[in-house]
Amino acid sequence: MASSSSAHPDTPRYGQLGERRREQRGWYLYDWANQVFITSVVTVLIGPYLSGLACSSAGAPSTTACTGGDYTVSLLGAELHANALYPATTTAAIVLQVILLPIMGALADHSPNKKRWLFFLALAGSVSTTGLFFTGGNHIAAAALFLFANVAYGASLVIYNSFLPDIATPDERDRVSSTGWAVSYLGGALLLTVHLVLVSQHQQLGITEEQAVRVAFASSGIWWIGFTILALRPLRNRASKLVTASRTPQVRTSVRQLGRTLRDIRKYPQTLLFLLAFILFNDGVQASIRYAAPFATQDLDLGQGVLMGTILMIQFVAFGGALLVALIARAVGTKRAILGTLVVWCVLVALAYAIPANDPVLFMALGAGIGIVLGGTQALARSIYSHLIPRGKEAEYFSLYQISDKGSTLLGSLTVTIAVTVTGGYRVAILSLIAFFLLGGFLLAKSNIAHGIKAAGNTPPRNI
């Protein structure tokens, strides 16, 4: 692999092998840095935390009693079921991402210093996450900070993903993207282990469970920015043909460029088709991750210890799963490997609907299945998309991709919000996600990836 990569005709663009490997290690470290937001905050803690605050504010005696009961809170003048506050906040955050991220991506492509963008966006997310420590029992303040952290997180990934085409040759990208995902799961697992001990042993530590959760929020924010600083050191900025003569990114110029991109993407129908497929099936993936915690604690009546232990187990399984699916992709092709994982996701979502309450063994078994396909689905999709982008528009195109990338799920969250508002629980909402895997898989099967890569002016890897 090393010899073929170093001999690639575009090697001068990427740098020599040793230089590429240093940048790749820095790139992996940002995955390590930001994954704690998804693992500890999004997947485990914030859903039950926000639901608990909202249910308490609505007068429910407990979060379990809140499920199915007529307990509502007001959010921006709208009356929502207390359990719907979390998916509604997520939906609002992703609507903001849909509006802001494409503009920010265009700005970044016009900027000579993407590293600075990545730092300040990570800092904004870190400060918002740490700020959850100070929210106390205020569900509105907690929802607002979580919304800001979500937007900053999504924007940072636009910049982060745009480095991939610069630090890895076409034949390296499956490996680099999958390794980044695998490393992220180890980082998330390490801090989640600390949080598991913190929450489960809160009485011995002389604090309440809510205080333990708030300490976990603060430590996640500090971890995020701390490792971001280390990640940025080996990465380097690259000149772009889109950088203006003043070398200062202009909003008006960037918005005009984005408008041209949205028009010109029609010239790349396979890129557009893959993007639509990804938005659909990855919305299902991300919604499954985001709403596992409230589903477990409220519909299945499982404790935080079981939930956190399951999510921790998923991180270690997902580390191996991301690498395993990458190996399968080398044997059968990247597109076929993704389609195979989507079949598994359909089975897992159907099984989740049928899990009875108070059955931690089945819930953990389901988690193991999710871990096997979780990282592979997303890592390989990111790799394929990087090939489908015209050169020089990486951040701009990845801002469209981020509409449903890691941590973002607009259509999925909207679907869950409606289902929870109607039923009061998450069981039907989880089952409804199967439609996203089926529709996304259908569009992916119809796409011609190799033709799309050539149309974008790039060289297809040997096994797409």
Lowest mean pLDDT across 14-18, 408-412, 425-429 = 14-18
Q: What is the pLDDT of residue 8?
A: 43
Yes or no: say if 207 and 221 are a contact pair by the CB < 8 Å rule: no
Q: Domains of the chain by range and CATH?
A: 15-246+265-455 (1.20.1250.20)
Long-range residue pairs from 196-199, CB within 8 A, at least 24 positions apart, any chain: 196/305, 196/308, 196/309, 196/312, 199/304, 199/305, 199/308
Summarised one tens digit per residue, pLDDT across range 21-34 is 899 999 999 999 99
pLDDT-derived band of residue 203, with 50, 70 and 90 as boundaries?
Answer: very high
- As a whole number of angstroms, the distance between CA 278 and CA 386 comes to 13
| Single-letter amino acid, residue 108 | A
Q: What is the pLDDT of residues 138-153, one digit of tens each?
A: 888 999 999 999 999 9
The whole-model pTM stands at: 0.74
* Dmax (CA) of the chain: 66
> Model confidence at 195, in pLDDT bands (50, 70, 90)?
very high
How far apart, in whole angstroms, are the C-alpha atoms of residue 312 and residue 42? Answer: 13
Q: CA nearest 382: which of 197, 165, 207?
A: 165
**SS3 state of residue 80:** strand
Q: Is the pLDDT of residue 244 over 60?
A: no
CA distance linking residue 412 with residue 66, whole number of Å:
22
pLDDT digits (tens, 9 = 90+) for 47-65: 888 888 888 877 776 666 6
